[in-house]
Every structure is written in C-alpha cells, then in structure tokens.
C-alpha cells in the first residue's frame, strides 16, 4: 500500500472519530509528511513484532502512523504555526493512541474501579503487579491522584509492598485495594428481616419504616424479634411497636419486653449485639413484602 493510501486510512479513521472532513487531516499530514520507509525503520514506531501485522491487517496500519504522529506532536510546542487542523489531529491521535502508550496519569483517570474487565483495568494489571494499588478516600470514593502517589511511593520503597494502607498528607489512613476489588458498601439492615437492606430507612420485606429509631433501639428490636415477641405478619402489632419505638425511650421498651432486655444487656456486655449491617458488594437477600407477596421492590 502506497504512502498516500496509508494516510487515507488514518484520515478516514480521524474524520470518523472527530466528525470532521478528511481533507483537514490530510492537510496536516501534507505539511508534516510521514513516510512508510521511515516508519518501518523506526523501532519506536514499528516494533518488529508489529511488522507482519502491517501486511496482513489493514486496521493495524494506523498504529505505526499514530506512533509517528505522537512523536511529532510531542515537539509541536516548538511549532509556531498553530491551527484548527493541528488541534483536531492531536485529539484524534490521543483517541487512537495504543493503551500501552498511555501515561499512568491518563490511565488512572480513565479507569473505572466498577469495571474490572475494561481495557484500562487489564492494562493496570499488566503494568503493576501490586496488590495494594488503588486508593479510595474516607468516603469510599476512588481517588486517582492518591492512587498515583501510592504507586510512586511503592516504586520508591517508601511504602512496603505488604503494607495495605496509604496515608494522606492530613494523616488520614485508608486501605488500598488491587484491581478488581473495592471497598465494601455497608448499609443498614432491617431489624425484622436479616439480610434485607434498608432503603431510605424502610424495610422492603415488611414495608415498615425505621426512620427516627436509633441504632441502639434497632438492635434491641432485632433481639425482641429473635425472641419471638414480634409477629411481623401481624401488621397492627408491628406498626404499634414501631411507633412506640419512635416516641418512647429504650428503658420503656425494656419494661415492655423484660426478657429480651436481659438478653440485650448480656449481649452488650459481651460485645455481641446485632451488627445490623449488610454488605451490598456481596449481594443481599431482597425479600418479598410479607403482606403483599406480588409487590415488586
């Protein structure tokens, strides 16, 4: 394939990505010619392992030209002539840039920790054989800038390889994760339905709202339920207990369920009170509304 045909391939790809005229891309390459012989002789542009692909797969042709263009664009700050065409082609090259040539800063920005099968996730795994690589802040939000600092610190042995933590400048210490892992997403669990998360403080299995009921009271209600003193199929009884839990002190509830109160105190002394937390990352047992089994949640 002749040089002008090769450039046409790039022009077509560029025009499609940028939704611009092919002539704009070709105009740039006319001012900054790229010759195929030079491409083949330049190992940075055409590694030996890629040469055969160039002759068998037309889609591979663009890789070498893009690598060559990248080298030109890296020097473009010295080029006095600035125009719309140059900016367009720069954007095209960036879009077409092989992921293996992507900077770590850009890679971390494009990486989505929720998609462990993406090309960015796979590239991160290939580059860094580190278990504690990804940093999430105290709100469990992925932090690409802190992740970059973490990688640099580990490469310089400022953080030991087996140390699973990263410390922010303000002293906040957070756990690090490998690609494919992320912090657990713990939410409140229904006191009357183990494994069922509360959505806006409402239990999807019983359709009861636990809003304005303290965590301490919710723990006690779980024990009362476990002791069999609450029949959640008895809607009036359940709603009555919910309302009393909102308005009365926990001491009043202890008087109402004295046997459960004894077990609550024993569990509290043994640090064995119900956790009432469910991890959404591991899935949760969403149950049907016991009063309306056909209802969808």
- Give the model confidence (pLDDT) of 109-138 as tens digits: 989 988 888 889 999 988 887 778 899 987
Residue 55's pLDDT is 45
For residues 183 and 217, which has the higher predicted lDDT (pLDDT)? 217
Of 289 and 234, the structure prediction assigns the larger pLDDT to 234
At 194-214, the pLDDT tens digits run 989 998 899 988 889 999 999
Q: Which pLDDT belongs to residue 214?
A: 93
> Distance of CA 95 to CAs 56, 65, 78, Å?
23, 13, 22
Q: For the beta carbon of residue 8, count every other beta carbon within 10 angstroms.
A: 16
According to the model, what pLDDT value does residue 138 have? 78
pLDDT for position 86 = 54
Rounded Cα–Cα distance for residues 186 and 191 (Å): 15
Q: Give how far Cα 217 sits from Cα of 152, 185, 221, 246, Å.
A: 47, 23, 6, 9
More confident residue, 210 or 82: 210
Q: What is the pLDDT of residue 185?
A: 67
Radius of gyration of the chain (CA): 31
pLDDT of residue 277: 85
pLDDT of 149 above 90? yes
Question: How far apart are the C-alpha atoms of 73 and 93, rounded to whole Å?
Answer: 9
Cα–Cα distances (Å) from 118 to 41, 79, 111, 114, 135, in that order, read: 33, 36, 8, 9, 18
- Cα 274 to chain centroid, rounded: 30
Neighbours of 274 (CB within 10 A): 18
pLDDT score for 254: 96
195: nearest Cα among 129, 108, 279, 295: 279
**Residue 90 token pair:** 């720069």
Helix (H, G, I), strand (E, B) or coil at 75: coil
Instruction: Measure the CA–CA gap between 83 and 187, rounded to whole angstroms.
Output: 53
Alpha carbons 54 and 75: distance in angstroms, whole number? 26
pTM: 0.42
Compute the distance between CA of residue 51 and CA of residue 61 in angstroms, rounded to an integer: 9
Q: pLDDT value at position 70?
A: 56
Mean pLDDT estimate for the chain: 75
Q: Give the pLDDT of residue 267.
A: 94
């Amino acid at each position: 394939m002749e040089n002008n045909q090769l450039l046409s391939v790039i022009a077509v790809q560029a025009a499609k990505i940028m939704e611009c005229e092919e002539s704009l891309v070709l105009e740039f390459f006319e001012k900054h010619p790229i010759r195929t012989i030079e491409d083949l002789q330049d190992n940075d542009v055409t590694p030996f392992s890629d040469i055969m692909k160039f002759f068998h797969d037309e889609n591979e042709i663009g890789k070498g030209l893009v690598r060559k263009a990248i080298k030109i664009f890296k020097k473009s700050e010295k080029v006095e002539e600035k125009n719309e065409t140059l900016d367009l082609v720069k954007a095209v090259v960036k879009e077409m840039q092989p992921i293996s040539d992507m900077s770590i800063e850009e890679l971390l920005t494009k990486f989505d920790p929720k998609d462990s099968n993406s090309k960015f996730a796979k590239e991160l795994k290939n580059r860094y054989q580190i278990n504690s690589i990804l940093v999430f802040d105290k709100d469990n939000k992925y932090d690409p800038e802190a992740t970059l600092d973490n990688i640099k610190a580990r490469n310089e042995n400022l953080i030991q390889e087996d140390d699973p933590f990263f410390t922010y400048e303000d002293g906040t210490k957070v756990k690090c994760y490998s690609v494919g892992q992320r912090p657990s997403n713990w939410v409140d669990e229904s006191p009357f339905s183990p494994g069922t998360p509360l959505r806006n403080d409402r239990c999807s299995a019983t359709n009861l709202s636990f809003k304005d009921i303290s965590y301490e009271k919710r723990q006690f209600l779980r024990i009362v339920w476990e002791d069999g003193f609450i029949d959640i199929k008895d809607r009036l009884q359940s709603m009555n207990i919910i309302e009393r839990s909102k308005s009365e002190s926990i001491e009043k509830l202890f008087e109402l369920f004295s046997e459960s109160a004894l077990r609550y105190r024993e569990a509290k002394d043994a640090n064995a009170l119900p956790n009432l937390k469910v991890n959404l990352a591991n899935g949760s047992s969403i149950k049907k509304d016991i009063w309306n089994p056909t209802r969808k949640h």
